[in-house]
Structures are given as C-alpha cells and as structure tokens.
C-alpha cells in the first residue's frame, strides 16, 4: 500500500511532529511532503523519510523566517504534486497542508490541529498588540487584515480537498464545523506518559509556565499576575515576546529560555502548579504536567477544558479554571488553589493524563485509517 504524508513544515520537534512521527514509523516507505525542512530538527523516524519540499525551501534564511512568507504558502502547497498511484493521503495541518491536491479518487484524511488560527478565530491574539505602523501612507494593520481575509477565503474554498477530517479535540471539531461546514472525528494527540512521570520529590514554592513566547500564549498575563501577588514564577520557553516579558518580569520571575525535556519534567515534578493562561487547540503541556502529578491553573476555554478536571469544595480535581484573561481572575484562581491545596490529587492527575497516552493515539489513528481505506489488513502488513 502506497501512502503520502503531508506536514506544514519540519523545523522542530513539537506536538504536531510527534503526531506525524507515529505514521513515519508505521509507513517508512511513504513519501513525506512539506513546505520546508530543516535537516536534523525532527525525530530519527521523520529524518529517515523521503522528504519532498516546496520552492520555499530555496529562499535565503527560510528556516528562521518562514512565517513571514505566509502569503506564498498557498501557492507553495498547491505546487507540490502527489504521485497518482498512491492509495492514501494523510495530512497533518494547522496552516496549509490540508489544502494539498490529492489524486482523483484517493482518500485524503486530514489530522487537523486547527483551521489557521491567525486567519480565523484567534487572529487578534496571534499578533503582537503593538501598532503595526504605516508604509508609504498605507496602514500595515489594514494590509495584514486584507491578506488574512484572502487566505481565509482560500482556506475555506480548498477544504473540500479533504475527504475525512480528524480533530485533535472537541474544541477543534467545533472550529472545523464552523469554518469548513464539515464533520470530524476526535482523536486526541499523544502524550508521552512513559517519560512524564511523578517523582518522590517535594513540591517547591514556585509556579511554572512552559510555552512558546508568542502573544496569543498570554504568558504576559502569568508574569503580571505573579508580580502583583509576589509569587515566584519560572518561565521556560523562547519566542518573539521574550524581550518584552523580560523587561516587565520583576525579581520574582525567572526567564529560563528553552530547556531540555529532562529539565522541563524536573520543573513539572517540583512546581506548586502549572499556569496555562492561553487558549489552546488541545494543550499538551497541561497533560504532561498532570502526568507528573502537578496541579494546573488554566483559562476556561479550548482544549484544557477537555483535559483538566476542575477541583471544587466537595470534589477532588486536577486543576482550577479562571473565566477571564485578566490578572484579577488569574489571581483569584491562584489564591483558591493555595487555600484548597488538599483538593488537588496527584494520583487523579496521573490517572487523567494516562487517558491521552501515545499507545491510545496510535491505536485510534490506525484504526480510523483502516476504516477509511476499507482494508485493515493492508495497514497491518505495513506495520
């Protein structure tokens, strides 16, 4: 059986690449199509694949500045040609991968992380709040909005190139229905619960954020709240917001940059709680923290509402939610957690995290693809 795999870009080993890795190990002879590839930045299973890139690969500095080439991405993905003799196309998409053109009559399953968030629901949160300025009398903000409107229309128009949608959460299933008018099946992404485990160490007196430092992640909310409360905060992550956050952090906030998985696990095992102030499509970090037995304090929207069990006065839980993205609301949640520490169960957190383990993901995804092609034996022979 001949399979074609599609991914937006291969520039690091994040949650999306971990989802892709499973099928690269299952179908090592498949051809992998992507806009661009930074060699050595992903897993061995992905690096071993036969990788076909778009014309964007040849632009100077593309691996560092690929996001600035968004206007060319629709053309780049449509220029990629999948062989006519493939039996199945599987795309992993949060941007343009789902819009690749499959051969006529070939099933195209899209594992959808989200419709492009910067073109749809989270447009305002995705970009920096600083004014964009003007160029030759033209508002750059207005130009950006015009471009994103055009990309959104293209994204909607090409949604029927997918025959079957898989959503990474109920939140994303709702967005697929809203944006594309299509149903989807929910298969949660894999979490490495074999690596992220509790340890016999005491909880320390600090809060933790683990995140890319982009505007929509709302790490500035965690920084400002902990500054007001006088609480210690450790921030692990890198990104365009680092310099601005460092200027406002104050003495109680440690900006560590990016750290190894071993370091992240160590901080998750010791933190008082993980702060998760943004709205995520799924949010793998809260599940990893729960796998380590840590409480989670999360904004009550997006994927976290599906993975964190709210504690109450009467019932044990794995976290607490706050309803508004304001320092006041987050402060109230932090103080509630401190007053009700006994309502948070490390054992329950671990049990909750195991619902999202990697073995479950692979079983459900392969089972779904078997249903689509109508010949489960072919997939099992390829294993």
Instruction: Tell me the chain's radius of gyration from C-alpha atoms.
Output: 21
pLDDT of residue 380: 45
Provide CB contacts within 8 A for 63, sequence distance 6+.
Answer: 11, 36, 38
Q: What does the pLDDT profile of the chain (383 residues) look like in tens digits? A: 899 999 999 998 888 999 999 999 999 999 999 999 999 999 999 999 999 999 999 998 887 788 788 889 999 999 999 999 999 999 999 999 999 999 999 999 999 999 997 777 655 554 444 545 554 455 567 777 788 889 999 999 999 999 999 999 999 999 999 999 999 999 999 999 999 999 999 999 999 999 989 888 999 999 999 999 999 999 999 988 999 999 988 899 999 999 999 999 999 999 999 999 999 999 999 999 999 999 999 999 999 999 999 999 999 999 999 999 999 999 999 999 999 999 999 999 999 999 999 999 999 999 999 999 985 445 544 43
List the CATH code of the domain at 3-190+357-382: 3.40.50.2000
User: What CA–CA distance (Å, rounded) separates 146 from 164?
Assistant: 30
Pick the CATH number of 207-354 from 3.40.190.10, 3.40.50.10190, 1.20.1730.10, 3.40.50.2000: 3.40.50.2000
Domain 3-190+357-382 matches domain 207-354 at the CATH topology level:
yes
Query: What pLDDT digit, counting tens, does each position of 272-330 carry?
Result: 999 999 999 999 999 999 999 999 999 999 999 999 999 999 999 999 999 999 999 99
Mean pLDDT, all residues of the chain: 91
What is the token pair recorded at 245? Answer: 């956050």
pLDDT of residue 22: 95
SS3 273: strand
Maximum alpha-carbon separation in the chain = 62
Every domain of the chain and the residues it spans: 3-190+357-382, 207-354
Reduced DSSP (H G I as helix, E B as strand, rest coil) percent helix, strand, coil of the chain, to 5? 45, 15, 40
């Amino acid at each position: 059986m001949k399979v074609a795999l599609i991914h937006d870009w291969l520039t690091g080993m994040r949650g999306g690449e971990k989802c892709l890795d499973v099928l690269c190990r299952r179908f090592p002879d498949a051809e992998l199509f992507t806009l661009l590839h930074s060699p050595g930045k992903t897993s061995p299973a992905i690096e071993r694949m036969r990788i076909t890139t778009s014309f964007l690969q040849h632009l100077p500095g593309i691996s560092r500045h690929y996001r600035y080439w968004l206007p060319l991405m629709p053309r780049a993905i449509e220029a990629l040609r999948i062989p006519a003799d493939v039996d199945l196309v599987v795309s992993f998409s949060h941007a343009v991968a789902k819009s690749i053109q499959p051969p006529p009559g070939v099933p195209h399953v899209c594992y959808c992380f989200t419709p492009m968030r910067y073109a749809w629901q989270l447009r305002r949160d995705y970009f920096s709040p600083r004014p964009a300025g003007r160029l030759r009398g033209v508002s750059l903000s207005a130009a950006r909005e015009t471009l994103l409107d055009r990309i959104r229309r293209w994204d909607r128009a090409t949604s029927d190139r997918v025959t079957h949608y898989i959503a990474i959460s109920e939140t994303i299933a709702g967005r697929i229905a809203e944006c594309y008018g299509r149903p989807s099946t929910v298969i949660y992404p894999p979490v490495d619960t074999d690596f992220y485990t509790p340890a016999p160490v005491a909880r320390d007196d600090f809060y933790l954020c683990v995140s890319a430092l982009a505007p929509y992640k709302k790490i500035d909310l965690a920084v400002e709240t902990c500054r007001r409360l006088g609480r210690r905060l450790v921030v692990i992550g890198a990104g365009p917001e680092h310099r601005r956050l460092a200027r406002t952090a104050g003495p109680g906030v440690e900006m560590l940059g990016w750290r190894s998985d071993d370091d992240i696990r160590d901080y998750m095992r010791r933190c008082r709680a993980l702060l998760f102030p943004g709205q995520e499509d799924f949010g793998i970090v809260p599940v990893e923290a729960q796998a380590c037995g840590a409480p989670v304090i999360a904004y009550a929207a997006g994927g976290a509402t599906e993975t964190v069990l709210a504690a109450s006065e009467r019932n044990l839980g794995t976290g607490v939610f706050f309803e508004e993205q304001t320092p006041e609301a987050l402060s109230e949640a932090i103080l509630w957690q401190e007053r009700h520490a006994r309502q948070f169960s490390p054992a329950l957190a671990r049990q909750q995290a195991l619902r999202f383990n990697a073995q479950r993901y692979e079983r459900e995804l392969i089972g779904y693809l078997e249903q689509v092609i109508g010949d489960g034996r072919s997939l099992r022979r390829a294993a």
